[in-house]
Amino acid sequence: MRIGDVASRAGVSVRALRYYEEQGLLSAERTSSGQRTYAESVVERVRLIQQFYAAGLSSRTILQVLPCVDTGTATPKVLDVLATERARIAATMNELEQALAHLDRMIDIARHPHPDHCPALRTGQAQAPAH
């Protein structure tokens, strides 16, 4: 199957397939003229790679996981890698939740200005802007 056909059937760009090949996630045979050809099974593999990316995994991590997909058995090392990735994503989510709470507070202050938060609203203390 040609690269354009794989891209179309898997719902990705040709550029993505080339990137997957560069990263070692996908392999292709080459014709005598250098064109890539793929087995039918590559479409399913590309969809799986997309699921791994959607789960927040990097191509380096996906490369570690794919052999387990091929054998049907997750090794303890891969399970540790996945647990570490989960912890990383959870920490990032926590940081984002904190940032969101801070932003919500700033929005609330902007909507309901109060002298405690805005020096310009303090009586007798309003000053001209510094230059």
Q: pLDDT of 15-73, one tens digit each?
A: 999 999 999 999 999 999 989 999 999 999 999 999 999 999 999 999 999 999 999 99
Residue percentage of the chain with pLDDT more than 90: 82
Find the domain containing 52 and state its range: 1-59
More confident residue, 114 or 17: 17
DSSP assignment string, 75-109: -HHHHHHHHHHHHHHHHHHHHHHHHHHHHHHHHHH
Give the list of residues 6+ apart from residue 27 with CB closer than 8 angstroms, or none: 21
pLDDT on residue 25: 96
131 within a domain of the structure (yes/no): no
What average pLDDT does the segment 92-105 reach? 97
Query: Does some domain include residue 64?
Result: no
pLDDT > 70 fraction of the chain, expressed in percent and rounded: 94
Q: Classify residue 65: in a domain, yes or no.
A: no
Which residues are paired to 30 by β-bridges? 36
* Residues 44 and 90 both lie in one domain: no
pLDDT (0 to 100) of residue 129: 56
User: Which pLDDT belongs to residue 130?
Assistant: 56
* Mean predicted confidence (pLDDT) in 75-100: 97
pLDDT, greater one: 93 or 130: 93
* H/E segment holding residue 30: strand 29-30
> In the prediction, which pLDDT does 124 show?
57
pLDDT value of residue 116: 83
| CATH number, residue 20 | 1.10.1660.10
What's the confidence (pLDDT) of residue 80?
97
